Amino acid sequence: MSSGIGVRPRTAAAPTRPVKKRVVQRTTGQRVKSTIGYVILCLIALAFISPLIYMVATSLKPAAETFTTPPTLWGSAIVWQNYVDAFTYLPFARFLVNGLFVAIAGTAINMAVAVLSGYAFSRLRWRGRNTVFVLFLATLMIPQDVLVIPMYVMMQGFGWVDTFQALIIPWAFTALGAFLLRQFFLTVPQELDDAARVDGAGTVRTFFLVMLPLARPTLAVLAVFSFITYWNSFLWPLIVVNDVNAHGTIPLGLQQFFGQQGSQWNLVMAASVISMVPTVILLILLQRHLVKGIVTSGLGGR
Amino acid sequence: MTTTSVAPPTPAAPAAATAISERKQDRDGDGQGRRSWWGFAFAGPHTIGLALFTVVPIVASLVISFNNWPLLGAHTFVGFGNYAQLLADPIFRTVILNTFLFTILYVPLNLIVSLGLAAWLTPKIRHRHIFRVLFFIPTVTPIVANVVVWRMLYQPGGAIDASVQTVFGFHAPNFLADANWAMIAVVLMSVWQGFGYNMLIFSAALDSVPENLVEASELDGAGAWTTFWRIKFPLISPSVFFATMMTLITSFQVFVQPFILTKGGPGSSTLTLVQFIYNQGFQYQQLGLASAGAWVLFIIILGITAVQFIGQKKWVHYE
């Protein structure tokens, strides 16, 4: 089973794959056919992305022109003011800062604990290691929806309802990171540990000076998954945040904004664009790492 | 985060298997390193955190489901009372049916679209990484934002309605207020936003199908269609199995799309299980009933997973 899911896709994600040059010359007919196919593919892609294009276009329209028949893509004027208004009707800057703070803090904790446990599960020997690891994997099966209610009761007990720590801490320990990091550390040759040991480094020095630098690419993948998950998270903030203006993150703010400005579609779209920018930038910058992480683990941000 | 925390049981199995084989190695004693306390120190923070925030809540969830547990105030033990109440509730039955209906429509559509596009985006396609990234965008953008955009498209007078009026001269159905259309609207939006994951997984799997097999099949005169189903599909079937299972699991947890598009309406025609859990817990403040609903969801997911694992032998080929 491991061969099917883990290994095969991973080889596919290798950055460069020599594409064999076609020896046989293609006929004109084939070339026309493939060009038509390519045009159709481009049209499908365009249709697919059109809701997002429409979103950007609407976010720049004057309020009176958001619903017109026949539909138009661009309004009579480009209204950048919509973005300013989106930031003033509701404390959208606040939601952005909150969202960034929660996502970065949660991601940092998640990376720290996962790199340590991933190392412990792969390179250290200790009593109960395999049992604990199987338990880690088992927790990946549990849907978040089953956890939110007891989690809320727990937050009541801690006095954490409507706080930032309630948004950050409970989801900072998901097992995905330990799994990703363990898979990575298993690929590091044992000779590196041995060499460090011969040089007199103990477990801690070996970890920090040899292993941690090597794990940076895998940590980057984990960081992106974790950040996106926190940034997009909706159900839990909806439950645990009471004062949206103080502790709201982007999706929560957007939902409230939508409730209040439901008729002001140009502003709602401006707010939506703002909410999408950070993750789209991450996707474009780190596409190769992300693809690799997804085909290795099959999950992340799902 | 509605659909995040589930993870595939599939990687779990091989990892568990390797864990066991490693243990055997250890017993053989090849002398690499000795047991130490460092393991506890390194694994400690993560293990304690996971125990506190996942193991404790899952147990607590079961306990709460056996209690009458209001959001505020004292709770009392009621045994299976909450489960009995759920099963007798016609709304709950509707919710279960809706959730299954969503799954039956969503999962095949998602798989067809993602498999079709993955098969189309062969390495011969120019700029295919651009297409890949493009189709992947809605899976990383906040789902709330995606849904809000679609809410505007579906609106009477919105882009779809306005286009239909311009071209055909009559109004498009009021997708979100019409009980016949609401679920379809929710499903289409969900496919648009979700198929990118499976497409990437399939695309990567197809890339690793050995080229000589494909060429041999073409030399034998097989067309692209036959080659795909006879050669490529069996080889990528483990990935298809994995993706099908993940998609099934996440589709049972659908929440944000109906919550923002229709609020479960019109009537309760798009009310899904997770929204029911949310409503019970945080609108009606009945945490016991909500937990019982959550456990029904969990049991459905475990059941589906088990059935899939048994059924896979018929069509999944492992090397």
Minimal CA separation from B167 to chain A, in Å: 9
Cβ–Cβ below 8 Å for A301 and B139? yes
The label of the residue with tokens 């989690």 reads A151
Residue A297: which pLDDT band, with cuts at 50, 70 and 90? low
Which candidate from B13, B35, B192 shows the least CB-CB separation from A1?
B13
Nearest CA in chain A to B167: A70
Instruction: State whether residue A20 sits within 8 Å of chain B by CB.
Output: yes
Nearest CA in chain B to A16: B123
Higher per-residue pLDDT: A69 or A278: A278
pLDDT per position as a tens digit, A206-218: 888 888 888 888 8
Name residue B96's amino acid. I
Identify the pLDDT of residue A194: 83
Q: At what angle do helices A81-89 and A92-123 cross, to 10 degrees?
A: 80
Interface pTM (ipTM) of the complex? 0.82
Cβ–Cβ below 8 Å for B152 and A265? yes
The domains of chain A are located at 85-297
> Chain B neighbours among A 243-282 (CB < 8 Å)?
250-251, 254-255, 258, 265, 268-269, 272, 275-276, 279-280, 282
The answer, yes or no, to whether the previous bond of B210 is cis (omega within 30 of 0) is no
Nearest CA in chain A to B289: A149
Domains of chain B as residue ranges with CATH = 80-314 (1.10.3720.10)
Identify the pLDDT of residue B319: 63
Contact A203, B36 (CB under 8 A): yes
Which candidate from B132, B298, B316 shows the least CB-CB separation from A146?
B298
Instruction: State whether residue A223 sits within 8 Å of chain B by CB.
Output: no
Spell out which residues of chain B touch residue A132, defining contact as CB-CB under 8 Å: 43, 47
The answer, yes or no, to whether the previous bond of B266 is cis (omega within 30 of 0) is yes
Identify the pLDDT of residue B55: 92
The most confident of the ranges A6-20, A176-190, B18-32, B103-117 is B103-117
Nearest CA in chain B to A286: B133
Sequence-ordered alpha helix ranges (H) in chain A: 2, 8-12, 28-59, 81-89, 92-123, 129-139, 144-158, 164-168, 176-186, 190-198, 203-205, 212-214, 216-232, 235-240, 244-247, 250-260, 265-285, 287-297
Spell out which residues of chain B touch residue A120, defining contact as CB-CB under 8 Å: 38-40, 42-43
Minimal CA separation from A5 to chain B, in Å: 6
SS3 B70: strand
> Chain B neighbours among A 115-154 (CB < 8 Å)?
116-117, 119-121, 123-127, 129-130, 132-154
Which candidate from B19, B161, B208 shows the least CB-CB separation from A134?
B19
Spell out which residues of chain A touch residue B45, defining contact as CB-CB under 8 Å: 112-113, 116-117
Q: What is the pLDDT along chain B (319 residues), one digit of tens a residue?
A: 333 333 333 343 344 444 444 444 444 333 345 667 888 889 999 999 999 999 999 999 999 999 999 988 888 899 899 999 999 999 999 999 999 999 999 999 999 999 999 999 888 888 888 898 899 899 889 999 999 999 989 988 888 888 888 888 888 888 888 888 999 999 999 999 999 888 988 888 888 888 888 888 888 888 888 888 888 888 888 888 888 888 998 899 999 999 999 988 788 899 999 999 999 999 999 999 999 999 999 999 999 888 888 888 888 887 6
Residue A8: which pLDDT band, with cuts at 50, 70 and 90? very low
CB pairs under 8 A between A and B: 381
Instruction: State whether residue A159 sits within 8 Å of chain B by CB.
Output: no
Identify the pLDDT of residue A25: 59
Minimal CA separation from B180 to chain A, in Å: 23
Q: What is the mean pLDDT of residues A75-81?
A: 82
Q: What is the mean pLDDT of residues A274-293?
A: 83
Cβ–Cβ below 8 Å for A228 and B316? no
- Using the Cα atoms of residue A104, residue A110, residue A111 and residue A116 in order, give the sign of their dihedral: positive
pTM, to two decimals: 0.84
Identify the pLDDT of residue A15: 44
Tell me which of 1.10.340.30, 3.30.465.10, 3.90.1150.10, 1.10.3720.10 is the CATH number of domain A85-297: 1.10.3720.10
Identify the pLDDT of residue B9: 38
Q: What is the 3-state secondary structure (H, E, C) of B194-254?
A: HHHHHHHHHHHHHHCCCHHHHHHHHHCCCCHHHHHHHHHHHHHHHHHHHHHHHHHHHHHCC
Q: Which tokens go with B276?
A: 């029911």
Instruction: State whether residue A201 sits within 8 Å of chain B by CB.
Output: no
Identify the pLDDT of residue B2: 36
Cβ–Cβ below 8 Å for B148 and A171? no
Instruction: State whether residue A215 sits within 8 Å of chain B by CB.
Output: no
Distance of alpha carbon B173 from alpha carbon B187, whole angstroms: 16
Length of chain B: 319
Which candidate from B13, B26, B255 shows the least CB-CB separation from A235?
B255
Distance of alpha carbon B179 from alpha carbon B199, whole angstroms: 31
Spell out which residues of chain A touch residue B294, defining contact as CB-CB under 8 Å: 145-146, 148-149
Cβ–Cβ below 8 Å for A127 and B35? yes
Identify the pLDDT of residue A1: 33
Cβ–Cβ below 8 Å for A13 and B204? yes
